[in-house]
């Protein structure tokens, strides 16, 4: 530990105090210092310091200064604190008594034993020859596909990754619209075993995220296993040979003992079904056409979802006029630092204070995951309108007040910007004010009248009026509920996966389907998360589980495994019942979370700890093994 006192003082002034105090538990070797401080109490959109008084914050900085200087000057660092001290620090930083069933899960997430303890490697105890005879095909080289490839490489299984794009990165390669960025704090949005400690921004832009995944692929030597610019057209199970035949758009057919789909849910753009033809340039945000010059043009944007929310403020100052067509408004989550650089104080503390980064990530994890799940869960006794529980109504009122404050000078916008559905019913978007400021520009119109047709010179509205435009941009999302729509998957007895789903995709734990042996999905049905966490967490859980299944197949020398139908069905009954109790399952809430039938086919309705515990390894009793 080497640093100047002045640098320490400057960093402590910007510290997250609960994380700092938890890190001091390690320096002291026990939790005795926590007794001198009130447990944080967090509020919606509070200061993040848990309402700790200014005096307590100053005393925490003074304590940290004394301990850190002492260790810099030679005082030994303690070994890992006792479990009771770690637990006390967890409860303190979370502001609640963490339930016992969370302790192992959160201890793993905390990463006190270093990144190696969080690796996804599932060792396979089998001869090299047996492993060589078990090739695996992974479809997709985005975030999840790279994870799966890493686990396969660590296990010593041969594998090939098929990637439709020209590079790795998935959504962070494909989406290149202006303003694209992550909406999970980047110190949480990274692999748990490959955390980046020098993110330039708190919420990184798409190019930075693509670079992270590209560097990861390089460091792990994965590119040699990837077939770029290649698509899977079909996968067919050969029961006699116990293999999958995977047909590519190159005309080749590859053979594998197992197939893992890592294509995700948000990869096929969705276009509105509108009659007519537009004469000018038109493109989807996920297929952004940078060759189209928007300067001084009349631009029409259809949709106000996550992508439009990011690119509209970027193009509004450039275009001549912007018409934004909105069906339903999103809830805006106050995030003042959404576009900010990582503060120098935060970076200094990460670089110099042992375990500060671990505890700060832990705080982010708790506050942005299961810690807020109750706010979007229905209270059976609640009868109020526009919300599903008292706490959900409290959130609604806070969010309404937040938007109202931004449009005091434009009261005509308020009714257009307040959703009629409960908070959590659709994806909440992080907001630092740029969205409303863009809509308030004199060259921007927010139009809530329904678009009914395309015209050569613009779009026609339900009233018959035509909104003229030179360029049309679709911000209309993806065909999320049409899982694996770009390929045909044929299982036992010639069963077609899509025919079996009939528009309602279901899978056991979001990964496996009866009658489709050795076929696995990452980010499959009912594994999307709305308010509680990062998709990376779910992908890591899925990869651990799938790697465990492959371990079972190879070590046992068996041919195939697929979930039992009763196990699969019972799981989905539980999922459906739980989703009906969540804000996104509320009647009348229409979103991409639901299939055409109205079933919530995307979302996980339970706590993250439940998925983590369930996916540590597959239970043999859940499967038909041949």
Predicted confidence (pLDDT) per residue in 169-226, tens digit: 999 999 999 999 999 999 889 998 888 889 999 999 999 999 999 999 999 999 999 9
pLDDT of residue 103: 83
Domain count, the chain: 3
Predicted confidence (pLDDT) per residue in 393-439, tens digit: 999 999 999 999 999 999 999 999 999 999 999 989 999 999 999 99
Predicted confidence (pLDDT) per residue in 205-217, tens digit: 999 999 999 999 9
Alpha helices in 220-268 (DSSP H): none
Given 440, 474, 508, the domain boundary residue is 474
- 110/398 Cα distance (integer angstroms): 31
Q: On the CB side of 551, how many CA atoms lie within 13 Å of its CA?
A: 21
Predicted confidence (pLDDT) per residue in 61-85, tens digit: 999 999 999 999 998 877 778 888 9
Domain assignment of residue 426, yes or no: yes
pLDDT of residue 533: 73
227 and 291 in a single domain? The answer is no
- 406/414 Cα distance (integer angstroms): 9
304 and 175 in a single domain? The answer is no
Predicted confidence (pLDDT) per residue in 333-368, tens digit: 999 999 999 999 999 999 999 899 999 988 988 888
451 and 595 in a single domain? The answer is no
258 and 286 in a single domain? The answer is no
Domain that holds residue 356: 5-118+350-370
303 and 413 in a single domain? The answer is yes
For the sheet with 466-468, list strands across it: 451-455, 458-461, 466-468
Residue 591: band (very low, low, confident or very high) from pLDDT cuts 50, 70, 90: confident
The encoded tokens of residue 185 equal 């704090």
97 and 152 in a single domain? The answer is no
| Interacting residues of 95 by C-beta distance below 8 A, sequence separation 6+ | 18, 39, 40, 41, 42, 50
Predicted confidence (pLDDT) per residue in 285-337, tens digit: 999 999 999 999 999 999 999 999 999 999 999 999 999 999 999 999 999 99
Given 449, 474, 499, the domain boundary residue is 474
Domain assignment of residue 275, yes or no: no
Domain assignment of residue 380, yes or no: no
pLDDT of residue 117: 60
pLDDT of residue 42: 87
Predicted confidence (pLDDT) per residue in 541-558, tens digit: 999 999 999 999 999 999
- 116/403 Cα distance (integer angstroms): 44
Mean local confidence (pLDDT), 279-290? 97
- How, if at all, do strands 159-162 and 226-227 pair? parallel
Number of neighbouring beta carbons within 10 Å of residue 283: 17
pLDDT of residue 115: 63
Residue 104: band (very low, low, confident or very high) from pLDDT cuts 50, 70, 90: confident
pLDDT of residue 370: 76
Domain assignment of residue 381, yes or no: no
pLDDT of residue 114: 66
Higher pLDDT, 418 or 369: 418
Residue 124: pLDDT over 80: yes
* CATH number reported for the structural domain that contains residue 588 in this entry: 3.50.50.60
Query: Residues 382, 388, 390, 394: what is their CA dihedral angle, to the nearest 10 degrees?
Result: -150
447 and 396 in a single domain? The answer is yes
Share of the chain above pLDDT 90, in %: 81
Higher pLDDT, 374 or 78: 374
606 and 503 in a single domain? The answer is yes
Residue 119: pLDDT over 70: no
61 and 199 in a single domain? The answer is no
pLDDT of residue 580: 95
pLDDT of residue 83: 86
Domain assignment of residue 47, yes or no: yes
Domain assignment of residue 164, yes or no: yes
83 and 209 in a single domain? The answer is no
Given 431, 447, 474, the domain boundary residue is 474
pLDDT of residue 82: 85
396 and 431 in a single domain? The answer is yes
pLDDT of residue 590: 83
21 and 150 in a single domain? The answer is no
Domain assignment of residue 272, yes or no: no
Residue 390: band (very low, low, confident or very high) from pLDDT cuts 50, 70, 90: very high
Domain assignment of residue 376, yes or no: no
């Amino acid at each position: 530990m080497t640093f100047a006192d002045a640098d320490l003082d400057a960093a402590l002034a910007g510290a997250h105090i609960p994380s700092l105090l938890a890190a001091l538990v390690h320096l002291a070797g026990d939790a005795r210092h926590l007794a001198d401080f009130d447990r944080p109490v967090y509020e919606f959109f509070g200061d993040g310091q848990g309402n700790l008084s200014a005096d307590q914050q100053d005393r925490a900085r003074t304590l940290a200064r004394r301990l850190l200087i002492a260790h810099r000057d030679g005082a030994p660092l303690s070994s890992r604190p006792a479990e009771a001290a770690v637990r006390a620090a967890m409860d303190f930083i979370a502001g609640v008594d963490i339930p016992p069933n969370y302790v192992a899960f959160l201890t793993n997430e905390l990463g006190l034993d270093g990144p190696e303890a969080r690796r996804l490697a599932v060792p396979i105890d089998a001869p090299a020859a047996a492993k060589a005879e078990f090739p695996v095909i992974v479809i997709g080289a985005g975030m999840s596909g790279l994870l799966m490839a890493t686990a396969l490489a660590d296990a010593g299984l041969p594998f090939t990754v098929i990637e439709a794009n020209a590079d790795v990165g998935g959504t962070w390669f494909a989406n290149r619209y202006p303003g694209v960025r992550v909406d999970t704090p980047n110190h949480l949005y990274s692999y748990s075993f490959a955390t980046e400690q020098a993110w330039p921004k708190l919420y990184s832009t798409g190019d930075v995220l693509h670079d992270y995944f590209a560097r990861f692929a390089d460091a792990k030597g994965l590119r040699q296993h990837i077939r770029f610019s290649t698509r899977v057209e079909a996968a067919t199970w050969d029961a006699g040979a116990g293999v999958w035949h995977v047909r590519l758009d190159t005309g080749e057919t590859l053979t594998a003992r197992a197939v893992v789909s890592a294509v995700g849910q948000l990869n096929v753009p969705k276009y509105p079904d509108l009659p007519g033809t537009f004469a000018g340039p038109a493109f989807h945000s996920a297929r952004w056409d940078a060759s189209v010059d928007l300067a001084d043009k009349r631009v029409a944007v259809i949709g106000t979802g996550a992508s439009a929310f990011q690119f509209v403020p970027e193009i509004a100052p450039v275009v001549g006029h912007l018409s934004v067509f909105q069906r339903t408004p999103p809830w805006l989550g106050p995030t003042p630092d959404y576009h900010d650089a990582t503060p120098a104080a935060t970076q200094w503390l990460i670089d110099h204070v042992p375990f500060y980064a671990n505890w700060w990530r832990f705080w982010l994890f708790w506050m942005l995951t299961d810690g807020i799940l109750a706010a979007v869960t229905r209270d059976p006794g609640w009868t109020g309108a526009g919300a599903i529980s008292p706490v959900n109504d409290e959130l609604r009122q806070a969010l309404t007040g937040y938007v109202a404050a931004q449009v005091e000078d434009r009261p005509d916008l308020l009714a257009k910007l307040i959703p009629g559905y409960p908070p959590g019913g659709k994806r909440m978007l992080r907001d630092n004010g740029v969205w409303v400021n863009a809509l308030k520009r004199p060259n921007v119109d927010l139009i809530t009248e329904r678009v009914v047709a395309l015209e050569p010179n613009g779009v026609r509205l339900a009233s018959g009026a035509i909104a003229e435009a030179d360029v049309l941009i679709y911000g209309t999302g993806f065909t999320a509920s049409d899982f694996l729509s770009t390929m045909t998957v044929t299982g036992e007895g010639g069963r077609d996966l899509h025919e079996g789903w009939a528009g309602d995709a279901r899978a056991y734990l979001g990964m496996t389907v009866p009658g489709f042996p050795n076929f696995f999905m990452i980010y499959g049905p009912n594994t999307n998360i709305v308010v509680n966490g990062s998709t990376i967490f779910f992908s890591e859980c899925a990869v651990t589980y799938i790697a465990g299944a492959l371990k079972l197949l190879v070590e046992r020398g068996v041919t195939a495994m697929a979930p039992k139908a009763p196990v699969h069905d019972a799981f989905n009954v539980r999922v459906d019942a739980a989703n009906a109790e969540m804000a996104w399952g509320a009647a009348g809430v229409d979103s991409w979370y639901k299939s055409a039938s109205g079933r919530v086919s995307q979302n996980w309705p339970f706590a993250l700890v439940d998925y983590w515990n369930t996916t540590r390894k597959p239970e043999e009793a859940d499967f038909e093994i041949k």
